[in-house]
Each structure stands twice: as C-alpha cells, then as structure tokens.
Amino acid sequence: MVGKISRDELKAKLDNGKKVILIEALPERYYREAHLPGALNIPHDQVDKLAPNFLPDKSAEIIVYCANGPCKNSGIAAARLADLGYTNVLDYDEGKQDWVDAGLPTESGV
C-alpha cells in the first residue's frame, strides 16, 4: 500500500534536509520543462526498466509525483515501485501544479 504526502509535508522534509528521493512520473519533455528541485525522471511506463539503476535502495524514502491530482501517473508509478519491493513509497498526488501554484521553486533541463 502506497501512502500519500501533502505539499506541506513534502516541503517540511526538504526544508529539514531529510533524505528523500523525488521521482517525477511524467514523460521526459515535461520533466525538462520544470521539475521539483532534485527530482529524478522515471516515467510511469518505464518504472520496471529504470528503477533498478536509479533506485538501488529498496528501503529509501521515495516520493513520486506527476502533473496534478487528476493525473494518474504518480499513483501508477508508486504502486509499481511497491510491487517491485520498495517499502517506503509516498505519492504526492496534487503534483507539480500544486507545487508551482504555491510559488515554490522548480528546476528545468536534465
């Protein structure tokens, strides 16, 4: 079962220097335009292929997000990670739009 995390909870973790791995589950072109600071790009349909290389520690705290609440990519990717044996996966369901709407910083490029 994958838990949920709010923007405020995520921001608090990042502000406190908590070691988390952020994953954007959107296609690369959207990731290149803007992503949360430090996020990796693992599109929801490439989790099986990319996760073993990008995420070797299956007990690490992993937070997955996509565009917004109606977008299902983060839920799909988070559930797949859990199926692959990752034990500490959270879904930031409100996603990148919520982050940007709150005036929080993003990065662009790869």
- Which residue, 41, 48, 40, is CA-closest to 80? 48
Q: Which CATH number goes with the domain that contains 45?
A: 3.40.250.10
Both tokens assigned to 56: 């070797």
Q: Is residue 107 one of the residues assigned to a domain?
A: no
Question: How many domains does the chain fold into?
Answer: 1
Q: Is residue 38 one of the residues assigned to a domain?
A: yes
pLDDT digits (tens, 9 = 90+) for 25-62: 999 999 999 999 999 999 999 999 999 999 999 999 99
The residue range of the domain holding 42 is 3-101
What are the two backbone dihedrals, phi and then psi, of residue 65, each rounded to the nearest 5 degrees? Answer: -145, 165
Contact in structure between 62 and 81 (CB atoms under 8 Å)? yes
Q: Is residue 30 one of the residues assigned to a domain?
A: yes
Q: Is residue 92 one of the residues assigned to a domain?
A: yes
Q: Is residue 106 one of the residues assigned to a domain?
A: no
Q: Is the pTM of this model over 0.85?
A: yes
Q: Is residue 108 one of the residues assigned to a domain?
A: no
